[in-house]
Amino acid sequence: MEKIKVGITQGDINGVGLEVILKTFADAEMFEICTPVLYGSPKVVTYHIKSIESQLNFQLVESALQAKDNCLNLVNCSNDDAVVEFGVPSAAAGKAAFDALERASMELKEGMIDVLVTAPINKSDIQSNQFKFPGHTEYLAQKFPSETGPLMILMNQDLRVALVTTHVPITKVAQTITQTMIESKIKILDKTLRSDFCIEIPRIAVLALNPHAGDMGLIGTEEQTVIKPAIDNMISQGIQCFGPFSADGFFGNGSYRMFHAVLAMYHDQGLIPFKAIAMDNGVNYTAGLDIIRTSPDHGTAYDIAGKGLANENSMRQAIYAAIDVYNARKFDKEIHKNPLRRQFFDRDGKDDKVNLESADDGQ
């Protein structure tokens, strides 16, 4: 079988992105499950290889179409004028990150790669006339528009946390959240769990916005006026969702283990407990789009950049997750392509012969 082509962006060249990529593919077994295509600068990648004394080599290719198995392929996205300064934010590093992301997105759109894994960026340095987004999620939502829009999910093998709002200032969270928005996110999450994770009947927990779930309106009414009506409406449509749960107690007593996914109202409400539980193996997954994109759940980590201390497990898990979702979607499409005709027994008193009803009868 042809291996899945995994496109990987270099991210911020002054951070730990390239280090964790190189450490991941220092394990030769990674080449058995995918064909990696790294988007970046040969000069920069070589510098990072030397900085951590890696023995890994790469093959320079014009595009992912030329990628070969059993090696790290590199598509040059830079004019090589960027200088690596570990731990130092810079406009040059931001441009190098953007150039790699733009090229990878183009080749993903053209079908040259199957999935995309993005290394961490500095969201401030990457800003320009071409990139005016809070992060990868919003950029990809514009590049690959869908009917539902994106949904950020942080996940590992034991926990999935999705967000209603992502990069929104805390002062604007309450006024941003609406019943319609919550219902939309619940629908995307339910569909994602079914198609991308092969969960037949997902159970979704929905968190409250206010402390103690508002204490019956004493310290906030959003639970009664916005969140609970959204949950009730989704239940009426056949989606198994529950809540709203007070976030502190929900994570503190381990209730998250009873659900396939958790929907948090805002960024830190979901990500602080997630990273406390799964920092070294967490994955950021952009659901709700037709394309598949994952990333490690950490940032540029300037404080340890260039020191060889970065843990590559989150990057490895991001690659695994992208491949798993790709295969799950393929399986989901296959099993729903030709649904079986409905079967029933004739109980008119004459016989128990099995009848087949045409699949065209709307059932």
For the chain, give the percent of residues with pLDDT over 90.
Answer: 85
CB 7 within 8 A of CB 37: yes
Cα–Cα distances (Å) from 36 to 9, 67, 126, 313, in that order, read 11, 8, 24, 16
Q: Which long-range contacts (CB under 8 A, 24 or more apart) does 241-244 make?
A: 241/186, 241/190, 241/203, 241/204, 241/205, 241/206, 242/203, 242/204, 242/205, 242/206, 243/205, 243/206, 243/207, 243/208, 244/206, 244/207, 244/208, 244/209, 244/213
Specify the pairing of strand 261-264 against strand 160-163: parallel
Specify the pairing of strand 283-287 against strand 293-296: antiparallel
Kindly report the pTM of this predicted structure. Answer: 0.89
Q: How far apart are CA 104 and CA 74, in angstroms?
A: 11
Q: How far apart are CA 211 and CA 192, in angstroms?
A: 29
Q: How far apart are CA 287 and CA 193, in angstroms?
A: 10
CB 12 within 8 A of CB 121: yes
Cα–Cα distances (Å) from 151 to 67, 284, 347, in that order, read 31, 10, 47
Q: φ, ψ for residue 78 (rounded to 5)?
A: -135, 160
Residues of the chain with pLDDT under 70: 1, 80, 338-363
Q: How many CA atoms lie within 13 A of 315 on its CB side?
A: 28
pLDDT at 340: 59
pLDDT at 362: 43
Work out the number of other CB atoms within 10 angstroms of the CB of residue 58: 18
The pair of three-digit structure tokens given for residue 29, joined into one six-digit string: 């077994």
pLDDT tens by residue, 8-55:
999 999 999 999 999 999 999 999 999 999 999 999 999 999 999 999
CB 336 within 8 A of CB 191: no
pLDDT at 195: 95
pLDDT at 358: 39
Q: φ, ψ for residue 287 (rounded to 5)?
A: -85, 170
Q: How far apart are CA 102 and CA 74, in angstroms?
A: 15
pLDDT tens by residue, 98-143:
999 999 999 999 999 999 999 999 999 999 999 999 999 999 999 9
- For helices 17-24 and 42-51, what crossing angle results, to 10°? 70
Residues forming a β-bridge with 75: 39, 61
pLDDT at 363: 39
Largest CA distance in the chain: 84
pLDDT at 337: 77
